[in-house]
Amino acid sequence: MNDKNINCGRDCRNTCAMLNEALRKETSSVRFYESVFEECNTPEVRNFLSDIIDARRQEILKIIQKLNEIHARSQSLDGLAASFN
């Protein structure tokens, strides 16, 4: 798969397509690491995978937070624009 095929449309309104794609990929990677974690029996590797899973989950939370900020800002701007009509 070629990640270079992902392009920003720059026409986002209430959300960001690029951040949604990043969220999808991060979520997919967490699922992958969780499945590997479940199959692994070596404590050292399980601890390592656990750290990766935790870090990826933190990144997912950051992406969700930014998407929420974008959505809230868009709603505020819509409300402001509507007040002039």
Q: Are 67 and 23 in contact (CB under 8 A)?
A: yes
Quickly count: other Cβ atoms within 10 Å of residue 63's Cβ: 20
Q: Is the CA virtual torsion 3, 5, 6, 7 positive or negative?
A: positive
Q: What would the pLDDT profile of 14-69 be if each residue is shown by its tens digit?
A: 568 889 999 999 999 999 999 999 999 999 999 999 999 999 999 999 999 999 98
Query: Model's pTM, two decimal places?
Result: 0.74
Looking at residue 66, its pLDDT comes to 92
